[in-house]
């Protein structure tokens, strides 16, 4: 399925420019996951973006299915955008690779509205240990593949504080996003405080 990853990488480069760094992580029982760092020249260099490459090599399958379909099923890569220079966000590479490997390792189907938890800060001193998976299509357009394969979707990740993650479990993703919007939350700030949840 390396042909899929070549197309995915080309789509990322078209949308985000040339990466200035990349790192690869291999997990037992899973394919290699790479994380590419894009310096964000399109916005004056204030925002750095991290994108996974490798998660979409295989379709995600329902863990209850008797046999995984090698062609059909959702495919995705993950994209995280943060403001540069405020924290050591390059340490997010391994947590991002862990999240991208979760469909292979844990049988998780990653979709918009889902919460993904790393169990540790996303980077040193980060107030976030989990992310909300947002709707795709804004930053990087879906990549159509030949039938019968599903398109690759590039899913934005929004870091959540533990309190926000707990609140989202009760009230839902849409309610949390509405609260962020109402309070003008800068979701790209790597050191932001949690949104008021009263």
Residue 59 placed within a domain:
yes
Residue 66 placed within a domain:
yes
Residue 161 placed within a domain:
yes
Residue 195 placed within a domain:
no
pLDDT exceeds 90 at position 26: no
Residue 155 placed within a domain:
yes
pLDDT exceeds 50 at position 1: no
Q: What is the residue range of 33's domain?
A: 2-182
Residue 188 placed within a domain:
no
Each residue of 91-116: pLDDT tens digit? 999 999 999 999 988 888 999 999 99
**What contacts 60, CB < 8 A, 6 or more positions away?**
73, 74, 75, 76, 103, 108, 109, 110
The H or E element containing residue 175 is: helix 173-182
Each residue of 135-180: pLDDT tens digit? 998 889 999 999 899 999 999 999 999 999 999 999 999 999 999 9
Please tell me the total count of domains within the chain. 1
pTM beyond cutoff 0.75: yes
What is the C-alpha separation between 130 and 127, in angstroms, rounded?
9
Each residue of 48-101: pLDDT tens digit? 999 999 999 999 987 666 667 778 889 999 999 999 888 899 999 999 999 999
């Amino acid at each position: 399925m390396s042909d899929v990853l070549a197309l995915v990488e080309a789509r990322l480069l078209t949308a985000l420019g040339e990466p200035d760094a990349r790192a690869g992580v291999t997990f037992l029982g899973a394919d290699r996951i790479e994380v590419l760092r894009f310096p964000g020249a399109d916005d004056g260099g204030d925002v750095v973006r991290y994108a996974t490459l490798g998660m979409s090599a295989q379709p995600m399958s329902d863990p209850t299915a008797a046999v995984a379909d090698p062609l059909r099923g959702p495919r995705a890569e993950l994209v995280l955008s943060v403001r540069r220079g405020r924290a050591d966000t390059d340490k997010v590479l391994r947590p991002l690779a862990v999240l991208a490997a979760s469909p292979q390792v844990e049988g998780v189907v990653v979709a918009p509205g889902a919460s993904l938890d790393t169990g540790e800060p996303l980077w040193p001193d980060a107030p976030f240990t989990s992310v909300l998976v947002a709707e795709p299509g804004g930053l990087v357009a879906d990549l159509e593949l030949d039938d019968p394969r599903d398109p690759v979707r590039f899913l934005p990740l929004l870091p959540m504080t533990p309190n926000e993650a707990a609140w989202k479990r009760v009230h839902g993703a849409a309610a949390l996003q509405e609260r962020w919007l109402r309070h003008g939350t800068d979701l790209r700030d790597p050191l932001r405080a949690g949104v008021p949840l009263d």
